[in-house]
Amino acid sequence: MEVNPKKPEGIIFINKPRGITSHDVVDVVRGRLKIRKVGHAGTLDPLAEGLLIVLVGNYTKLFPKFVGFDKEYAGILKLGQVTSTGDSQGQIISESDFTSLSEEDVRETFALFQGEMDQIPPMVSAVRVKGNRLYNLARKGITIKRSPRKINIYKLTISKINFPFVEFIVHCSKGTYVRKLAEDIGEKLGCGAHMTKILRLKIGEFKLEEAVDLEHFDQSHLKQITL
């Protein structure tokens, strides 16, 4: 990668806070480094926290390589409620009783969601259909048919069950939507579910532990790496 010594160049691992968009992070980086050529590799929704890789200068050319990496997330799923967005920031659209479920029921169902499978992207995703971002259509109250996509759940491990909450860690392929995974698990259990927390731990071999908080980063956190 050719580096321009006169301009900021490199990669920053940001610990994205909850409540802002990935584009908001890009805007902060642009302002602080005073450079327009900035992008991120892998969207995190406002609810989601954790590792966001920000590419600066000529390193934006590496975007296709980062997109193909596996991801790892820690999440908390809430049983018994389905929301308009698949997470706790949406409106509750249905509620069902979950009290007849046992921990064994939950663990057996989670075990079904490992390996290669089809997943339909949620309407609140950034997937383009006929040139339109799905989330833009969703904001207008429009729902359209989406084609399923092949994903792979390499590992799905329950960390803790405290009804109605289930904490888990998932190692998955690119293109996997954790909120849709939660909805599908809830549907399989017969009570519905949504995500209350999503924390990205890894992108490829890059870990959250390498990241700097958004409010603390500066040009010294730029890394020059070879992929």
**Would you name the residues annotated as active-site residues?**
45
Rounded to whole angstroms, how far apart are CA atoms 177 and 119? Answer: 8
User: Three-state DSSP class for 180?
Assistant: helix
For 56, residues 6+ apart whose C-beta sits below 8 A from its C-beta are: 8, 9, 10, 11, 12, 29, 33, 35, 37, 38, 222
